[in-house]
């Protein structure tokens, strides 16, 4: 592999948080002595991203995803460990580094609220010193890919959440960064808009060869966007690899959907019956027994239809987190 | 350099667009800018008239000139950065500034100057109206007008750097309003906003001269009112430049420490 675009080695971030019990006595006590505890938001993670790679960063709330992205984009200083992005140490915030990266935060806005997004775009053009031709080219590309045309001249406050997010993403990409960090870019958006943003990110990644690291709560995002995923929980790395391998590794079961006439039959002898509606059973069976159970079902029952599936990715992830919880 | 000119131009356009969205609040803000010096002007006019037409070295007409010029100087040098900064840190929007390959102070200076440029013509008209109404007497020598311009610019820069630096207290504490209040009280008293400094007791005058406040507001006013000899004026400009250097060093130091603190706790 050529030198990685992003290199992370034993990265660790510890926050000191002061704690206070409820009640007046505790409040008075805390005036004299603050009880402080240390929380490791990111607890020694390591991974590499090749140039042009698109990786999904998964984990429940508070797993350390945002903290990691902020360290890699230079907003946060790590407690220990090292990282390089495009060969730069992010938290030194050198100008050539900042010119080549971007961080989109789904829950924060950089666009000026009361005026059309185009003003903020122009401001970013000046801040990043984007040559006029490049700016026009990128603006055209982004307008086309995200369908920004009618949005650019409306005050940002009058845009819907999804429209605003599209403008936020465009503002963050005008300087054509080669490394893109996205923190929950689809949060709060409806399914159509999520799909639109996903399609755009894939297109951007391919068209400009950018390295993309994105976090999301929505499994559909990750499934659609990233072949490789990095799973983090309680600040520790749980898994790094292909999504399909994750499913293989963490699922001991398969789901069999079998349709027979009605729900009268007792199928518990074949596997765990999860549900039945209109003669449509959902069974969970140990992975090793799938073939044998399928065979028996077909032999014993008047089967109309039968499918074997991996459990939904949400379920897999849930299992991963459940297993590793301390 | 060309990049910065471009940035300032673009920020001017953005600020202008924003201000036209906020016409009503802009108007109210300007009333405040006029009202405060007007209140002091009225009080001192009453006091002066009550004590035979002058207080100390100031005649009633000179009081009028003083507070009207002060209104304009305050308008040019005023900043709202302390409120802005607290908001940026509390809401975490400062992170966006940290991602940009330009020091955030440039956008702030450009934003501040832009809104001044837009409001200044109106303030000058108001000042002329007040000067007529209060029979202000002002007849600066020609050289004083020449010195007034750099003195005013330096006053703006010194005040901006100081308040930008002070605003960074928000990096370490979430309750900066107490600090702001203290600062504004000292400013009110020691910058000549409430009383011309020469009317204060001598020890207080010395304190006001040692601290930066006088050089942020009072000094350009004194120049335009012709209260200094050319040599004194040049000395004053020298002191302003010295404060500018001190302010720049302080700002760099505090900003670096502040960013380190911010990036340690996150936002």
CA distance A257 to A306: 6
Other beta carbons within 10 Å of B67:
28
CA distance A301 to A34: 68
Residue-wise pLDDT for A256-304, tens only, equals 999 888 888 888 888 888 888 888 898 888 888 888 999 998 998 888 8
Contact B265 A15 (CB under 8 A): yes
User: Which architecture does CATH list for A6-247?
Assistant: 3-Layer(aba) Sandwich (3.40)
Strand order in A6-19's β-sheet? Answer: A35-49, A6-19, A80-85
Query: Which chain A residues are Cβ-neighbours of B95 within 8 angstroms?
Result: 70, 75, 103, 105, 108
Give A78 to chain B, closest Cα distance, Å. Answer: 7
Residue-wise pLDDT for B69-111, tens only, equals 999 999 999 999 998 898 888 888 899 999 999 999 999 999 9
Contact A77 B11 (CB under 8 A): no
Token couple for A277: 């509606």
Share of chain B above pLDDT 70, in %: 99
Say what the pLDDT of residue A131 is. Answer: 95
B96 touches chain A (CB under 8 A): yes
What does pLDDT average to over chain B?
Answer: 92
Give the A:B interface size as CB pairs under 8 Å.
79
Residue-wise pLDDT for B207-253, tens only, equals 999 999 999 999 999 999 999 999 999 999 999 999 999 999 999 99
Question: In this structure, are residues B48 and B135 in contact, taking their beta carbons and an 8 Å threshold?
Answer: no
Say what the pLDDT of residue A324 is. Answer: 56
Number of domains present in the structure of chain B:
1
B22 touches chain A (CB under 8 A): yes
For residue A239, list its beta bridge partners. Answer: A231
Say what the pLDDT of residue B266 is. Answer: 60
Contact A114 B18 (CB under 8 A): yes
Which of B13, B100, B107 is closest, CB to CB, to A98? B100
CA distance B23 to B201: 42
Token couple for A5: 């675009």
Other beta carbons within 10 Å of A45:
22
Mutate to test the interface with A, among B87, B99, B174 (most CBs of A within 10 A): B99
DSSP letter for B104, please.
H
Contact B99 A102 (CB under 8 A): yes
Say what the pLDDT of residue A38 is. Answer: 87
Given pLDDT bands bounded at 50, 70 and 90, which one contains residue A326?
very low
Multiple choice CATH, A252-309, 3.20.20.450, 3.30.70.360, 3.30.70.980, 3.90.1150.10: 3.30.70.980
Which of A15, A41, A103 is closest, CB to CB, to B99? A103
Contact A126 B9 (CB under 8 A): yes
Window from A90-99, A253-262, B127-136 with minimum mean pLDDT: A253-262
Full DSSP string of A222-278:
HHHH-SEEEEEETTEEEEEEEHHHHHHHH--EEEEEEE-S-S-S--TTTSEEEEEET
Residue B189 sits in which domain range? 2-265
A98 touches chain B (CB under 8 A): yes
> Domain map of chain A by residue range?
6-247, 252-309
B240 touches chain A (CB under 8 A): no
Residue-wise pLDDT for A210-264, tens only, equals 999 998 877 778 888 888 999 898 899 988 999 888 877 777 788 899 988 888 8
Say what the pLDDT of residue A16 is. Answer: 82
Q: What is the mean pLDDT of residues A23-44?
A: 79
Query: Per-residue pLDDT for B163 more than 90?
Result: yes
Question: CA torsion angle for A126, A131, A137, A139 (degrees, to 10)?
Answer: 0
- ipTM here: 0.87
Query: Which chain B residues are Cβ-neighbours of A96 within 8 angstroms?
Result: 101
Other beta carbons within 10 Å of B160:
23
A122 touches chain B (CB under 8 A): yes
């Amino acid at each position: 592999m050529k030198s990685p675009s992003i290199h992370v080695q034993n990265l660790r971030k510890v926050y000191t948080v002061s704690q206070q019990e409820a009640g007046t006595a505790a409040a008075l006590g805390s005036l004299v002595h603050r009880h402080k505890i240390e929380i490791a938001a990111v607890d020694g993670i390591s991974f590499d991203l090749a140039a042009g790679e698109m990786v999904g960063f998964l984990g429940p709330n508070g797993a350390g995803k945002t903290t990691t992205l902020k360290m890699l984009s230079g907003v946060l200083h790590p407690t220990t460990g090292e990282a390089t992005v495009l060969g730069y140490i992010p938290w030194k915030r050198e100008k050539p580094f900042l010119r080549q990266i971007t961080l989109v935060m789904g829950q924060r806005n950089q666009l000026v609220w009361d005026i059309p997004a185009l003003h903020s775009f122009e401001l970013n053009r000046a801040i990043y010193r984007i040559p006029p031709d490049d700016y026009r080219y990128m603006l055209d590309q982004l307008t086309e890919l995200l369908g920004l045309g009618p949005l650019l001249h409306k005050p940002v406050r009058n845009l819907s959440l999804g429209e605003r997010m599209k403008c936020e993403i465009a503002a963050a990409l005008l300087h054509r960064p080669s490394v893109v960090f996205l923190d929950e870019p689809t949060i709060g958006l409806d399914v159509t808009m999520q799909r639109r943003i996903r399609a755009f990110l894939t297109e951007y990644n391919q068209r400009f060869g950018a390295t993309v690291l994105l976090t999301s709560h929505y499994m559909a995002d990750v499934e659609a966007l990233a072949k490789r995923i990095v799973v983090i929980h309680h600040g520790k790395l749980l898994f790094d690899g292909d999504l399909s391998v994750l499913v293989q590794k963490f699922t001991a079961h398969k789901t069999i959907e079998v349709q027979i006439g009605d729900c009268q039959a007792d199928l518990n002898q074949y596997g765990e019956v999860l549900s039945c509606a209109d003669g449509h059973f959902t069974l969970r069976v140990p992975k090793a027994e799938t073939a044998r159970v399928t065979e028996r079902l077909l032999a014993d029952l008047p089967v109309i239809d039968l499918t074997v599936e991996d459990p939904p990715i949400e379920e897999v992830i849930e299992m991963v987190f459940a297993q590793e919880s301390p | 350099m060309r990049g910065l000119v471009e940035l300032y131009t673009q920020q001017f356009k953005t600020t202008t667009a924003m201000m036209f969205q906020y016409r009503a609040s802009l108007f109210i803000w300007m009333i405040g800018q006029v009202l405060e010096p007007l209140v002091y002007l009225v009080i001192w006019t009453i006091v002066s008239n009550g004590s035979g037409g002058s207080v100390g070295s100031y005649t009633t007409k000179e009081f009028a000139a003083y507070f009207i010029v002060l209104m304009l100087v305050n308008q040019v040098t005023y900043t709202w950065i302390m409120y802005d900064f607290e908001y940026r840190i509390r809401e975490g929007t400062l992170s966006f500034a940290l991602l940009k390959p330009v020091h955030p102070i440039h956008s702030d200076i450009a934003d501040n100057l832009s809104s001044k440029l837009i409001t200044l013509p109106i303030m000058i008209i108001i000042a002329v109206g007040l000067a007529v109404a209060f029979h202000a007497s002002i007849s600066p020598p020609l050289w004083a007008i020449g010195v007034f311009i750099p003195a005013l610019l330096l006053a703006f820069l010194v005040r901006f750097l100081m308040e930008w630096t002070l605003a960074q207290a928000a990096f370490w504490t979430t309750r900066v309003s107490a600090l702001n209040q203290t600062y504004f009280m000292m400013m009110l008293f020691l910058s000549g906003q409430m009383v011309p400094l020469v009317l204060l007791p001598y020890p207080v005058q010395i304190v006001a001269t040692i601290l930066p406040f006088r050089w942020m507001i009072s000094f350009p006013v004194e120049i335009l009112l012709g209260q200094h000899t050319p040599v004194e004026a040049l000395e004053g400009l020298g002191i302003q430049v010295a404060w500018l250097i001190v302010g720049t060093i302080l700002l760099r130091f505090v900003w670096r420490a502040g960013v380190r603190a911010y990036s340690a706790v996150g936002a």
